Structure 1
């Protein structure tokens, strides 16, 4: 319940219409930039084709440009896959650390449960409260 109130208070404190106006402006600006970059790339490829056509025949020039484009795309795919691999590896390592911490926590809870039964009842009640709230998400 309090989580929703905090979020609503945060929304009331921010200027939503101003943020929306800035987001629309940035969207239009980035769309214009993307269009101009696309035009620049197209003209660059045409000029590269003309230059290569003066050295090689037009079919070879087209194949050179296509091969270079495919090679660049392959490098980008390799970079993305490598980054995803390292991200998955980092997440697995964090998951293993969390599992170890959880096991240590349960060990500590078992030790406390043996020594202090009243504290155990308090912890169980707190866990039941959190579980009925859906893990703390409103």
Structure 2
């Protein structure tokens, strides 16, 4: 089993939005970076755990945990000309973009801040703390997963 960190801007989709969904489940769409897409398409598997990270906001950090409940399938927004994620080069016969479904497992009582994450011993390899790594989907090692979880307010 692998572990992941998925970033979302809370004004677009927050952990509270996920909590308000039926069965606290939703698709993770709109990924338009090829490396992040490849993670979703080729590596993110059913049952794997995901840190839900709030980005581009006042309080950056991990807000909780979700679980992958459906593996990759075509992202419907790529076919919708009205969507900001529309891709005219994509077609139902040859989709370029995928999404997965996640379900909320746990919302932390406090966000585990990026500042705190960067200060933790043993957190060195996750893209989140490396300069220039801005991917919205990234792997988390099992060691780092446990360090981060053990330092969260859950």
Q: Structure 2-normalised TM-score?
A: 0.15
Compare relative contact order (CA 8 Å, sep 6+) and give the higher one, 1 or 2.
Answer: 2
Which of the two has higher C-alpha Rg? 1
